[in-house]
Structure 1
Amino acid sequence: MVTLLDSTPPPKPNLALKVTPDHRIYIDEIPYPTARPDEAIVHVKATGICGSDVKFWKSGGIGDYTITSDLILGHESSGIVLSVGSDVTTLKPGDRVSVEPGVSCAACGHCKTGRYNLCPDVRFCGTPPTHGTLARYIAHKASYLFKIPDTMPFATAALVEPISVALGGIQRANVVFGQPILICGAGPIGLNALAIARAAGAYPILVTDIAQHKLDRARGMGADLTLRCSLEWDGKEVARRVREAFGKIEVGLEPEVALECTGAQTSFYGAGYSLRAGGVLMEIGNGHNEQMIPFQTLSMREIDVRFLFRYVNTWPMVIRMLSAGKLQGVERMITHTFNLEDSVAAFEEAADASSGAVKVQIVDDR
């Protein structure tokens, strides 16, 4: 049994964006969802396109997750509750929510010790075999739906997920006040990491990328230093120029933490070579499943290499910080907005490196 919002009009067609095993994307009409007792039905109002969505489309998989049948993509979403299951007491129809896309089992050792992101039975939206949130109407477990203020736009609330990824990296790297930081990559995750590192008081912060327009955006969001890299540089050349840039702030200054947000092997090398001895290399980006690493260089300088898999318990904090205006500039990352019916065009724009897109969102506000 579900409780319905009496004023809700009959549902529009439930459109969804699907990807196929042979790398096609298309709009499909799917059935209106049914809520289990612990779930709610959400009208999805905004969904961001993540690099992982594009990668699932273009390459058919990430790591051990492979597209084997047509799958609804999407995991960066917000919306409005239309109905709730019989056991739900924390939400009511009409509530505006941000969607945490990973639903864990809550019973395994990882879940019980607070690392539910490592749950072996997690169902993560838009990752095979779990359908995603890029549909007009979805059913989602109510305890993974977080209320947002009436003043927060749905577009902003859909940024909570990518901000959470960056926050997870900042937390695992233990970034502290006054720490010199290197951020490799000025895409959405790198820019979110910049906003959070600034809020934490890190200084100076240097952001690298191969695209000048992304570095200009990083400057606009408060990066102290930027470095446009060349694809012709190797890791050692990247490191030389990074250290040169930090030296302009203070002679001999070196980054203590590198947040690698691209997944590119050369960027990983550059981050590792740039760090001061004893530093932390925090890998956040999604790269190829197998890559080379400068093993002896990292080992002999005791560089701690850490990896990140999503996030844990970030939604309340991020919503609070966004509401208070503590993450300056993150909304300006939304460079392109498409209607749900135009989702295919939205993905084509997001995948086009020449488009200037940073964060593309798909909305259903009509």
Structure 2
Amino acid sequence: MTTFVLTLTAIFILIPLSVKVGLVDKPAGRKQHTGSVPLIGGISIFTGVGLTLAWFGLPDNVHYYYLLCGGTIVILGVFDDFMDLSVKLRLCVQVLIGSAMVYGLQLHVGNLGNLFALGDVTLGYLGIPITLIAVIAAINAFNMIDGIDGLAGMLSGVTFVSVTLMMGMGGQLEHAVLPMVLVFALIPYLLFNLDVVGKGKGKIFMGDAGSMLIGLTVIWLLIIGTQSDTASFRPVTALWIIAVPLMDMVAIMLRRIRKGQSPFLADREHLHHIFLRLGLNSRQALVVITSFSCMLATLGVLGEYLMVPDLIMLILFLIIFSVYSYTLQHIWRITRAIKRYKAKRRG
């Protein structure tokens, strides 16, 4: 409740301030919202989380590093929201933040679990570059998925609830504090972002500061949950609890690369855009995608606690990803077929 109140207070303070300094999102090009919307969701979430951790005392050094790295990514996001920074500069800062995690906390992806039923797959020195790639991937996955109201917040909420449950049941109680606090910080943001309060006049966006903070926090928690000395769940389970942002990012980037385009090119080909073109409104698309995410996360958590072998969980995930990727590649053919079917029914 403390986090909720602190985040809500930050929102009320930051809305008029953001308008004065110009930290707003104006409709143009791919952005089709109405009016200038304050980009203060990420700042308010970080404020609520940071003040809560400071207020009740930080459980260990991990949280000090989190606030340092999280504050850095928020600052990067704010400058990006203001000036639209280059991809290279954003990637450089993200690598530095990942390096702070690796060398400051000695925390990196070193064990992928028993993926092939032949014993644990250890990475050795490859773990460091793979960790940096994972940090960049997670940050940009949530940045890319943030395309309709509430989507990045709801999908990250699914992940944070899942991680809280697994860390709590797996004995990582000191680390379960962070995802639990994040859930309560997301609630006031979602109330404003989805127009539950304010009815348009108080609408706010997460901004790059928020989506990148969420991506960093997700990979931070997944590495702690799977790689630390007190790990509470398997690496393969992490795939399931971030399935939708991960699959959307990988499928989109692969398609762009095949077309000879930059994998970081902005477009309107993401999952939420497809649902909108199929005739759903943004709220309906949000419900469908969030429900899909909940289903996959639930399967991952159940697989973890029923101790379904890593290999089976990996194969199931790859099957779902393959179907997802194929559907995305042929979506317009599928869309035309659906529209023809609807036309026939109406006729």
TM-score (norm 1): 0.26
TM-score (norm 2): 0.27
When you count helix as a share of all residues, which structure comes out higher? Answer: 2
When you count strand as a share of all residues, which structure comes out higher? Answer: 1
Higher RCO (C-alpha 8 Å, min separation 6)? 2
